[in-house]
Structure 1
């Protein structure tokens, strides 16, 4: 499947980001960030990928990397520039990186992301995407692909506050974009009743050493 029209074009974004909300609270939820036809392209693309295109998601980095299905049960596919629709999404999100830097002066350097497939019953327990002083992941993005998702389907993203209180319960509806500070918000993905597809990514600072981006510490 190929992208008929570049997802990087501004006119395909149907709702602007509230940067005042992001600056004040550290997260923002944009219900209809991308128009439905382009969400559908991404959803259908994810669905038609063969099983060998996915890998079991893990936790940790480098020699601490391990798969632990008691914590995390999704399968992932890192997006790559050589595939047209994946490249279109990466280009769109790189344009967003430039926009965030203009609006909030965050100094975001690059972006990486993966498709995530949660089969029925799969979950991801409470976790942080980054720890202060140990990673250059600054801003997390989650973009949802499933059309016609209902509350009864489950699979919600729960975002917690500093005292463990629930700040947001996010239904994974197609076109919805969530941005939050990677080292601030503990979050989890609840088990769903259907196959659930999303794209999770991270904007990063340039903490490279000897040409290695985000080296292990």
Structure 2
């Protein structure tokens, strides 16, 4: 029986040869149904791959949060995502997250007395769907300034951008998160030291190993 081999390419980087009888080659309804079935199969493969990628990203976020001390990665809530949509739209699709600075090692009560918010504004990022092949993108979400505090959020963000520009490794969530935590902490300590304050280590120096002589 004569057969026709028809190649089919799908967006999931898979290909297959369809074996179709010559007598059925011109049957439009048969071909239409066949290709619709293949499209549904391809959509299922895409959905499965996306689910696996999302699970991997969420696990990475959990692992990073377990290592952070003064900050935390939080997935943007619905209203927050809508607020960030303008900046995110410029960089394509992805997951909107924010780095929240809790200042555990500096002062757990370090916030503005009026609204109990941290003096360091959250840093918003977009994790593209192509991550980790494409790095996370910092969104412009630091427009609000804490009055009388020297705009610490802007200082911390500027230091972060400078730090990332001199990074010798791929820009991942991990190194952005650790860099942000360090930059936010340093911005607060520098502000405190300029006014006669600071932590024990910033005033007296860090602990050092000493030999004990008898």
TM-score of the two chains, using structure 2 as the length reference: 0.30
Structure (1 or 2) with the greater helix fraction: 2
Pair member with larger Rg: 2
Higher relative contact order (CA 8 A, sep 6+): 1
TM-score of the two chains, using structure 1 as the length reference: 0.30
